[in-house]
Amino acid sequence: MRRYVVKRLISLLGTLLGVSVLIFLMVHLIPGDPATQILGQFATPEAISQMRTALGLDQPLWQQYVGFLGRLLTGDLGTSLFTGESVWEQIVTRFPITLQLAIFSVLIAAIFGILLGTIAAVKQNTLVDRFVVLLSLVGISAPGFWIALFLIWIFAYKLALFPISGYEGVHSLLLPAITLGMAEAGMIARMTRASMLEVIKQDYMRTAEAKGASLVSLIFSHGLPNAIIPVVTMIGLQFGSLMAGAVVVETVFSLQGIGSLAIEAISKRDMPTVQGMVFFMALIFALTNLIVDLIYSRIDPRIHFD
């Protein structure tokens, strides 16, 4: 196991190096000039030239990348061009909200997705099965902003159970978490159903049934543990993508998380902030995949890593 972790960490360094190149090039392809954004459209060409020199934007692209990579190697994600704060400080301030939102969303998606998918597999080709398949399709297809506005209208405006926008404690994350979790729950339900249908056909399931195992024991003790591995993979990937892709939901609910920070940085063309944030989220995504792989051996003892 230790050797496997070391190999994965080494490969992770190569992946992050490639990610740093892509981030740097993509950010520099964004239209607009940061110097003009900072000084305003009425700034003189001389002032803009001086600002570009101060920011190092007059250097060749490869020199700018070497400086960016050197800062990354020392753990420096850069400094905002507009606020003067380090990118780390902004991430530390905003990341807890996005992390909580992602955790709640994954919990909602996993609980409902696995439960509904299992029920659909057990009740294959019945009305229950068709209803779950339809429900999962609706969850996957419905636009996130539409679900968010609908939940706000019902539970925040009509019933006044939750705040309409902003962060006022953990309870204010429930509606955003449901919004994000609905699509993920639909995908988990479909994956769980397909995996359970394969497991139900196995000989050991028929043997356990012949020995008198109850339906609950048959499904949750024998079937689900063997069907859950591909579902765990999906949940792990979803967790990483939720932290990086909660932009729309954070905007609709006015949550000051990583997503809203990304929108602000991109709109202002704050290159250091955009670069640092995207690199940080890539690192989180890669570490999440590694953790998911390690969880496999805990779920299924037959899986060994060399």
pLDDT digits (tens, 9 = 90+) for 201-214: 877 777 877 877 77
Query: Does 305 map to a domain?
Result: no
165 and 228 both lie in a single domain:
yes
Whether residue 81 lies inside any domain: the answer is: no
Cα distances (Å, whole numbers) of residue 183 to 35, 196, 246, 259, 281:
40, 20, 12, 18, 21
Is pLDDT at 87 greater than 80 in this prediction?
yes
Residue labelled with tokens 């060994």: 304
Question: Domain check: are 160 and 58 in the same one?
Answer: no
Residue with tokens 């060399």: 306
Q: What is the distance between the alpha carbons of residues 275 and 265, in angstroms, rounded to a whole number?
A: 10
pLDDT for 96 beyond 70: yes
* Shared domain check, 117 and 17: no
**pTM value?**
0.79
Whether residues 97 and 62 fall in one domain: no
Among 53-62, 173-182, 213-222, the range with the most confident prediction by mean pLDDT is 173-182
User: Higher-confidence residue: 111 or 9?
Assistant: 111
pLDDT over threshold 70, residue 118: yes
* 304 found inside a domain: no
- Stretch among 17-21, 96-100, 200-204, 297-301 having the lowest mean pLDDT: 297-301
User: Do 114 and 234 fall within a single domain?
Assistant: yes
Asked whether residue 306 carries a pLDDT value surpassing 70, the answer given is no
Quickly state the pLDDT bin for 112 (edges 50, 70, 90). very high
Query: Residues near 211 by Cβ (< 8 Å), separated by ≥ 6?
Result: none
Mean pLDDT value across residues 83-94 = 85
**In sequence order, what are the residues at sequence separation of 6 or more whose Cβ sits closer than 8 angstroms to the Cβ of residue 226?**
199, 202, 300
pLDDT band at 302 (very low <50, low <70, confident <90, very high): low
The predicted structure's pLDDT at residue 238:
77
In a domain, 79, yes or no: no
The Cβ-side half-sphere exposure at 194, using a 13 Å CA radius, reads 10
Residue 157 and residue 22 share a domain: no
Amino acid at the residue 283: L
Exposed/middle/buried for 56, CB within 10 Å: 0-12, 13-18, 19+? exposed
Provide the 3-class DSSP secondary structure of residue 86. strand
Report how far residue 107's alpha carbon sits from residue 174's, in angstroms, rounded to the nearest whole number.
11
Per-residue confidence band for 127, with pLDDT thresholds at 50, 70 and 90? very high
The single residue listed with the structure tokens 């919990």 is 107
- For all residues of the chain together, what is the average pLDDT? 81
The half-sphere exposure of 270 on its side-chain side, counting CA atoms within 13 A, is 25
- Co-location of 69 and 91 in the same domain: no
Residues 104 and 51 in one domain: no
Q: Is the pLDDT score of 184 beyond 70?
A: yes
- Domain C-terminal end among 46, 73, 100: 73
